[in-house]
Structure 1
Amino acid sequence: MKICFATNNSKKLEEVKAALGADFEVVSLADIGCQEELPETGDTLQHNAFQKARYVQTHYGVDCFADDTGLEVEALDGKPGVYSGRFAGEPRSDERNLSLLLERMAEKANRKAAFRTVIALLMGSESHAFEGKVDGEILQHRSGEEGFGYDPVFRPEGYEKTFAELTLLEKNAISHRGRAVRKLADFLKTHQAGKTP
């Protein structure tokens, strides 16, 4: 089954392809010739995910899914949340976002945080949403070279390593995106099975 993942983030694409497996041919925005920045003006993860997916379906006529992910930090009243990608302003920069987060967390004793992903799927006239969440904590210093975004400072519950210290396989097994993608994959497989004569 061929489906578009509405992202320009090569790391996200790699994660999702690995999680979905060989049953699906996942194409990127570049593969369908979409070069423009997708709209993300919603105030919730779900709103943003559907906004991006609708843009692609409307302008490019392909079934697609889009995700939006937020890091929700308890001591910062759930921030950066929906603004995680542009926490330190434009242009977007993982490095600046990380630095600002560590700065804001410098004096905080409560390090609890959660990553949450919402995936919006549009197939023809159908729309579906899938959510994944993982609890953890924010470390005081970066650790690890893998992953992207806030991965070097986020240690998932029950683990000694940050997301940036885990392999892609290990991260997908427990991550917010991995959990949402498995729900998406289960739905798509069931959907395909229902169409098979």
Structure 2
Amino acid sequence: MIASQNSHKIIEFEDAFKNTGVTIKSLKHFDNVPEIDETGSTFEENATLKATGIMKFSHQAVIADDSGLVVKALNGAPGVHSARYAGDHDDDANNNKLLKEMQNKSDRSAYFESVLVYLTPEGDKVVASGRIDGEILTARRGNNDFGYDPLFYVPSQQETLAEMTTHDKNMISHRGNAIRNLLSRLQGLWD
């Protein structure tokens, strides 16, 4: 069970898990899903809150993710508040605020971090993380406009995350790296 209703995240997980024999479900498969307050001060704390709440609701093994954009020139903002930086999960407003905040900033370095928490009703817990470094552009580029992807430029690829296919993005992204780290740790648990 992926503790998300975000279609973009679900597609990333489905792509990553497609050759593992594991069937992915998401919160879209359930009614009356409880709201989980993300009151943690770190990505791991928020992912653990989500995993615990959804595991208690679904009585299934859960993978919860908390991810965000960390910008050096903004003292780490938006960080754990990435999804609500300028409003509740409003990608366009978030990107507009980021562009405004980054005006006149010479240091454009940033990274995305993702922390995944796997939790089972039996008490198994596995934590994995991933990161990708890049730069914040001065204008959006690309059509796969999930989150801050149109503004996040990856120098090694010479593209923004929004210019990449889902598969190519998963091969280098913070969430893709976290999923690979999690899968390698779960293999020992599942064997």
State whether TM-score is above 0.5.
yes
Q: Indicate if the aligned counterparts of 2:126 and 2:186 stay in contact, CA closer than 8 A.
A: no
Match of 1:15 in 2: 12
How many Å separate the matches in 2 of 1:166 and 1:30?
A: 26
Match of 1:88 in 2: 86
Q: Quickly say closer, same or farther: Cα 1:24–1:34, change in 2 above 3 A.
A: farther
Normalised TM-score (structure 2): 0.95
SS at match of 1:142: coil
Q: CA deviation at 1:99?
A: 0.1
User: Is 1:130 the counterpart of 2:110 in the alignment?
Assistant: no
Structure 2 counterpart of 1:15, one-letter code: E
Task: Provide structure 2 residue ranges, at least 5 long, that are not aligned to the other structure.
Answer: none
How many Å separate the matches in 1 of 2:170 and 2:157?
A: 14
Superposed CA deviations along residues 31-55 of structure 1, whole A, max 9, x for unmatched, are 1435332221111100000000000
Alignment RMSD: 1.2
**Percent of paired sites with the same residue:** 39
SS at match of 2:159: coil
Q: Quickly say closer, same or farther: Cα 1:145–1:88, change in 2 above 3 A.
A: same
How many Å separate the matches in 2 of 1:86 and 1:184?
A: 26
How many Å separate the matches in 2 of 1:190 and 1:34?
A: 34
Task: Provide structure 1 residue ranges, at least 5 long, that are not aligned to the other structure.
Answer: none
Structure 2 counterpart of 1:16, one-letter code: F
Q: CA deviation at 1:172?
A: 0.3
How many Å separate the matches in 1 of 2:34 and 2:149?
A: 26
How many Å separate the matches in 2 of 1:190 and 1:147?
A: 36
User: Is 1:48 the counterpart of 2:51 in the alignment?
Assistant: no
How many Å separate the matches in 1 of 2:63 and 2:32?
A: 14
SS at match of 1:54: helix
How many Å separate the matches in 2 of 1:34 and 1:128?
A: 27
How many Å separate the matches in 1 of 2:190 and 2:31?
A: 26
Match of 1:167 in 2: 165
Superposed, 1:104-143 pairs within 5 Å as 104-123=101-120, 124-143=122-141
Match of 1:97 in 2: 94
Match of 2:146 in 1: 148
Aligned length: 189
Q: Indicate if the aligned counterparts of 2:83 and 2:91 stay in contact, CA closer than 8 A.
A: yes
